[in-house]
Amino acid sequence: MHTHPSDSLETARSLDLAGKSEEALAAFRAYLQAHPEVVEGWVDCAGLLLGLNRLDEAEAACEAALRLDSSHYGALTYFAGIRMNQGRLDESEALFRRAILLEPRRFAARLMLSDCLVRKGDPDQARALLDDVLEQDPSHAIAMDKRSTLMALQGDWAGLRKSMMRQVARYAGAEADYVSSHLDLMFGDMPGGWQRFESRLDIPNRPQPEHTRTKPRWMGEPLAGKTLLLTWEQGFGDTLMFLRYAPLAKALGATVLVEVQPPLAELAATCPGIDQVLVPGEPAPSFDVHASLLSLPALFGTDLESIPAEVPYLRVPDTVPERRKIIDQVNASGDRVRIGICWAGSERHAKDAKRSLPASALAPLSALGDVAWYNFQFEAKEVPPLPGLINMGPLLAGFTNTAFALSHMDLVITADTVLAHLAGALGIPTLLLLSFIPDWRWMLGRSDTPWYPATRLYRQHTPGDWDSVLRHVVQDLASDPDTQA
């Protein structure tokens, strides 16, 4: 049975959409080897390569497409994006404008041109371009997001908040309140933000542990003599972040049970105030009331001054499966300063592309002196060019091993991943590398965080600019190798 040419192209596109970049690239190349005359194949392949920042290969694919059709909108737009990433901004702007003239009702080139104009130092023209897109399509999410970024670049925090609220208008009911709570918290508006944060519990079809359905939710009433079950919600980092509230619940006179994701069970058991740790699927002891860990800030009326931030509030469990091997790796550093690094989170995270760094972005760290570098990247497809980098990855199965290895570091440098929360909860000095508009919990404009006193924040000053972030880190560490918050 023969495969129709479009079938192979659709396969490559499907792999690309599924995030299987290398498989998609191989499929595109196989298809183009058999069908080099199909311009759409070259264009789609160029888009994938541009997204992977493989600029030379993307440029070659665009050139092949433009030889077939010199006025192809997609090829011109991607070619302009390549020139922008190469720093050839005048050429980039000219190519974007050519594409816009060809297809004035399509938005991709306009949205990318706004980035180019920002890099050229013309945010006002970029904003006008985005406003034009929003005038034609008031619900255009990407245009609103880019306009928000421009507001932040210009220090217009009131405008930023207003622009972000326009994005919230896309939602309705409880979901709208939940999304708007992130804005409140990002701008440091507590405890009102926490109250709106609770609206997530009213979002239809929200998963709920079966054994909590027949018992009342704790709403802040006295707990003396009662048993409170606290349950996990969302990711590992959220669980680690909000375990800090367990001692406050215990101080109210409750017996405190906490249900967490299985990989965190042993670590959670080291938190003061927890009487018993449970994992999903095992029988729960009798309890009187329950609450999500993420509801505790609202229940305790948390504001910026009352965040429970005594660290460490977690410690390394007594049993560490890889203890001996980790010690051997640590001893290999001798008397040098030990710095653990992690540059990327899970690719499945919705905002991973913004929060994660390419390994090559860490190259400036190699300028630091006599440092022993430890790789805490759980799955490393590529590694940063740091001298003598010691790979801890194979020893980090389970959070207990990771916590033990972290406890031997003098400093941790990490992207916004679960490692930041683990190091912060353990009280280990940490430098956290943040994207231009980060997750709500890191707020805006601060170099410190009230959640983790031993953590210092290093923020992008322009979207995607990790170079200046790393230069700032190197400058600080060069002047003081023991830099702390």
Beta bridge partners of 372: 338
pLDDT at 365: 94
Q: 413 in helix, strand or coil?
A: strand
Q: Is the peptide bond before 191 cis (omega within 30 degrees of 0)?
A: yes
Contact 273, 251 (CB under 8 A): yes
Specify the pLDDT at position 343.
92
Contact in structure between 259 and 229 (CB atoms under 8 Å): yes
Residue 314 identity:
L
B/e letters for 76-101, b = 16+ CB within 10 Å, e = fewer, are bbbbbbbbbbeeeeebbbebbbbbbe
> What is the structure's pLDDT at 483?
45
Sheet of 255-259, strands arranged across = 276-278, 255-259, 227-231, 289-292
Contact by Cβ (8 Å): 40, 46: no
**pLDDT tens digits, 73-115:** 999 999 999 998 888 899 999 999 999 999 888 888 888 888 8
pLDDT at residue 135, as a whole number: 77
Most confident stretch, 11-15, 76-80, 132-136, 383-387: 76-80
Per-residue pLDDT of 102-158, as tens digits, reads: 988 888 888 888 888 877 877 778 878 887 887 777 666 666 666 666 666 656 666
Residue 167 in this model has a pLDDT that exceeds 60: no
3 has pLDDT over 50: no
Mean pLDDT of the chain: 86
Question: If you average pLDDT over residues 1-14, what whole number do you get?
Answer: 67
Q: Give residue 174's pLDDT.
A: 76
The rounded percent of the chain whose pLDDT value lies above 90 is: 54
Q: What is the pLDDT, as a whole number, of residue 355?
A: 79
Domain 323-479: state its class: alpha beta
pTM across the whole model: 0.71
Average pLDDT of the segment spanning 341-364:
78
pLDDT at position 147, please? Answer: 65
Question: Would you kindly state where each structural domain of the chain is located, as residue ranges?
Answer: 5-173, 210-299, 323-479
Q: Tell me how far apart the alpha carbons of residues 107 and 130 are, in angstroms, rounded to a whole number.
A: 10
Give the pLDDT band (50/70/90) at residue 429.
very high
d(C-alpha 419, C-alpha 62), whole Å? 39
- The amino acid sitting at 445 is G
Whether residue 187 is predicted with pLDDT greater than 90 in this model: the reply is no
Q: Mean of the pLDDT values across residues 295-319?
A: 94
Distance from the Cα of residue 55 to its chain's centroid: 24
Span 279-291, pLDDT tens digits: 988 888 899 999 9
| The pLDDT of residue 110 | 85
Give the residue among 250, 247, 248, 257 at the shortest CA–CA distance from 280: 257
Query: 11-25, 152-166, 237-251, 353-367 — which one is most confidently predicted on average?
Result: 237-251
| Separation between Cα atoms, residue 477 and residue 469, nearest integer Å | 12
pLDDT digits over 44-55, tens only? 999 999 888 888
Whether residue 37 has pLDDT greater than 80: yes
Note the pLDDT of residue 205: 73
In this structure, what are the phi and psi dihedrals at residue 368, rounded to the nearest 5 degrees?
A: -70, 160
Position 458 scores a pLDDT of: 96
Note the pLDDT of residue 153.
61
User: pLDDT tens digits for 265-280?
Assistant: 999 999 999 999 999 8
The CATH fold assigned to 5-173 is 1.25.40
129: CB partners within 8 A, 6+ apart: 110, 113, 114, 117
Q: Which residue has the higher pLDDT, 35 or 119?
A: 35
Name the token pair of 39.
Answer: 């311009």
- Split at pLDDT 50, 70, 90, the class of 2 is very low
Asked whether residue 401 carries a pLDDT value surpassing 70, the answer given is yes
